[in-house]
Structure formats: structure tokens, C-alpha cells
């Protein structure tokens, strides 16, 4: 009984898969951003919100002592997020 309840809870909390997950931008997003947290689905924010979020996260990456995003990495990640962003 407890195992069944646990399975239901875990399944209910599972995030939907990322759009275009096999694309290079998605793979880079998962590999760089997924080091610290589960990558959010791009639909969860608008394109302009993603610009702000990535900028905020760059300071957190630096504070954590992780390698900074290169300009190419940042461009690829932001392009992926904006292409798949939500509208509201």
C-alpha cells in the first residue's frame, strides 16, 4: 500500500518532457542548467522572462564556482528557451 502511494506521488510530481529534447539547444540546456536543478519546461515562462532568468542564473553559476556560459552556449540556450517559450 505504501509503495503504491509513493509511486502515485512520484508520478504525479514528474515534470513533462522538454520540447524538442533531442535538439542541440535542449541538450546543452539540460547539461548546463540541469547540474544544479531540474530544467524547467520552456513553456513555463515567456521569451522575455527567459532572457531575465538566464541573466540571473549566470550570476548564480559564477557564485557557485562553476564555469561561466560561453557566448555560444548562452546564445544556444536562450534561443532554445525562446523558441519553445510560453505566451503568458
Residue 5 domain-assigned (yes or no): no
Domain that holds residue 28: 20-83
pLDDT of the residue at 14:
52
Q: How far apart are CA 37 and CA 6, in angstroms?
A: 22
Longest C-alpha distance within the chain, in Å? 51
Q: What is the CA radius of gyration of the chain?
A: 15
Residue 44 domain-assigned (yes or no): yes
Tens of pLDDT, residue by residue over 35-68, are 899 999 999 999 999 999 999 999 999 999 999 9
pTM above 0.85, yes or no: no
Residue 78 domain-assigned (yes or no): yes
Tens of pLDDT, residue by residue over 3-36, are 444 444 444 455 569 999 999 999 999 999 998 9
Amino acid at each position: 500500500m505504501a509503495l503504491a502511494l509513493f509511486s502515485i506521488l512520484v508520478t504525479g510530481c514528474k515534470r513533462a518532457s522538454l520540447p524538442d529534447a533531442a535538439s542541440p539547444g535542449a541538450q546543452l540546456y539540460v547539461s548546463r542548467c540541469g547540474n544544479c536543478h531540474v530544467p524547467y519546461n520552456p513553456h513555463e515562462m515567456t521569451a522575455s522572462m527567459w532572457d531575465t532568468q538566464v541573466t540571473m542564473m549566470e550570476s548564480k553559476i559564477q557564485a557557485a564556482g562553476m564555469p561561466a556560459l560561453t557566448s555560444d552556449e548562452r546564445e544556444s540556450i536562450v534561443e532554445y528557451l525562446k523558441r519553445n517559450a510560453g505566451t503568458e
